[in-house]
Structure 1
Amino acid sequence: MDDALSRIFTSLGTGVPVLLLHFATMLALLAAGVLLYMAITPFRERELIREGNLAAGIMTLGIFLGISIPLAATLATSTVWLDVVLWGAVAVILQVATFLVATLIMPGLRHLIEAGNTAAALAMVGVQLAVALLNAGAMAG
């Protein structure tokens, strides 16, 4: 029993620092991805949310989920820190590219979101989440 307990504590001692490093890296990638996303959107989500614009809040939810889903898949399949960083960056880039392509398909998105059109926001979140799940599946490959 003492041998098993010793192995558990040894495992925790080596595993927790790696977990914290990977988790901190993913939080940094999530923050960078969200900031990049918000920088390229034609509207100012934070201002619109402060004004009570539900569509902007829904879009922001989609941004966070759309980026975090493939990042989670990256964490689940990568064990080396550099692998986590590189595949995490790829995940963020693909999700940002998704937004750019989707805005071509949904012209006038800026005006729809600024007007509080929740249907447009939900459609965009649907695109973001669908691509995020495919992206995560491909990364888990």
Structure 2
Amino acid sequence: MPPDLQSPEIQAFAIGFPTTLLHAGVAVLILFLGAALYVLLTPHKEVALIRDGNAAAAISLGGVLVGLAAPLALSLNSSTSLVEIIIWGVSTVMVQLLVFRLVDLLLRGLPQRIQEGEVAAAALLVGAKLATALILAAAVAT
């Protein structure tokens, strides 16, 4: 093996990169499963609305993805093993989905307004969901 490929940096990368890919892959899988579960739980069919060109639904679902990713990213950062990533990742997504559902219930009428294409309603809903995501992410980080 050439001497430059035996450097500690290259060796560390060769050992760590597959683990990094595995951890990131698991986190992305949890994100997509959480988003799919969210879509199933919403009173309106966001994917169909987005396909029909509803910008409010696209904004809302985009906010959900970021809202799920924030605490998931911090749980990924604070975990040391694949099992920990799965436990923290799944638990933060479940809590976030519960909080998102509560936000939907507290801000009554917003899902209907999103279905009707009201971007202002989507922006408020995204703001509320991102605020809860940041709080949950901070709680995970402690």
- Give your verdict on TM over 0.5: yes
* Partner SS for 1:43: coil
Tell me the residue number matched to 1:71.
72
- 1:2-35 deviation per Cα after TM superposition (whole angstroms, max 9, x unaligned): 6996211221122111101101101100100000
Gaps of 5+ in 2: none
State the superposition RMSD in angstroms. 1.5
Contact 2:44/2:115 (<8 A) preserved: yes
Structure 1 counterpart of 2:103, which letter? A
CA distance in 2, matches of 1:126, 1:47: 23
Gaps of 5+ in 1: none
Q: TM-score normalised to the size of structure 2?
A: 0.92
Greater shift, 61-70 or 105-114, is seen at 105-114
- In structure 2, do the counterparts of structure 1 residues 43 and 8 end up closer, same or farther at CA, with 3 Å as the change threshold? same
Q: TM-score normalised to the size of structure 1?
A: 0.93
CA distance in 2, matches of 1:5, 1:122: 52
- 1:68-124 deviation per Cα after TM superposition (whole angstroms, max 9, x unaligned): 111111111112110011000011011101111112211122321111111111111
Percentage identity across paired residues of the two chains: 37
Question: 1:84-123 counterparts in 2 under 5 A?
Answer: 84-123=85-124
Structure 1 counterpart of 2:37, which letter? L
Greater shift, 4-13 or 82-91, is seen at 4-13
Aligned length: 140
CA distance in 2, matches of 1:128, 1:94: 12
